[in-house]
Structure 1
């Protein structure tokens, strides 16, 4: 199944002329929770679901530790997870 998307018009804040641009936006087709994902991996690999749960939970915990320390974590072709800061802009430094 291919990834579904829609094309929408947007105005980006960094565009000085405030021109409308067209961008593709993915459309979600549902949600898979942690327990269901562990069951699917368990069936695929032939390992008990609790083992998958423990390994994935351990992976997430250790990744969080490294990311909190300012490191990036690469998981093969799945991607690189890096620390980011999400903040609102302000008129003053404080």
Structure 2
């Protein structure tokens, strides 16, 4: 099975007069929820579904504590989470303070095993799912 994609035209917002270019975009094929993941974990381990849910819920509770401390959260082969911030630009170093910080983001970096799977993906083109108007918004 491969990763589904479709093709959409996108206009360069800096050069709107140029003709659009066509790009492949990944097409989702459903989703998996938290409980389904816990059930799968229970199937391949010695823990029950409620135990798997408890561990995953606990992880969700403790990760923010470590992020607030400025720590990178290493999750083994899954990868790591760290905090990144977006701030307003200033003309001098002295002008920069916490009020200039506009937004915080979680940055996920996949572990080597997850990263390796990206090298072996197969791709299947599917029929266009988005209208041209929607695809221009994605740019």
Confirm or deny a common fold (TM above 0.5).
yes
Q: How does 1:58-73 map to 2 (within 5 A)?
A: 58-73=58-73
Partner of 1:89: none
* Larger gyration radius, structure 1 or structure 2: 2
Gaps of 5+ in 1: 87-92
Residue 30 to residue 44, structure 1, CA distance change in 2 (3 Å)? same
1:8 aligns with 2:8: yes
Find 1:17's aligned residue among 15, 18, 29: 15
Bigger RCO (CA 8 Å, 6+ sep): 2
Pairwise CA RMSD of aligned residues? Answer: 3.0
Q: Which has the higher strand share?
A: 2
Residue 57 to residue 10, structure 1, CA distance change in 2 (3 Å)? same
Gaps of 5+ in 2: 87-99, 101-139
CA distance in structure 1 between the aligned counterparts of 2:71 and 2:82, rounded to whole angstroms:
7
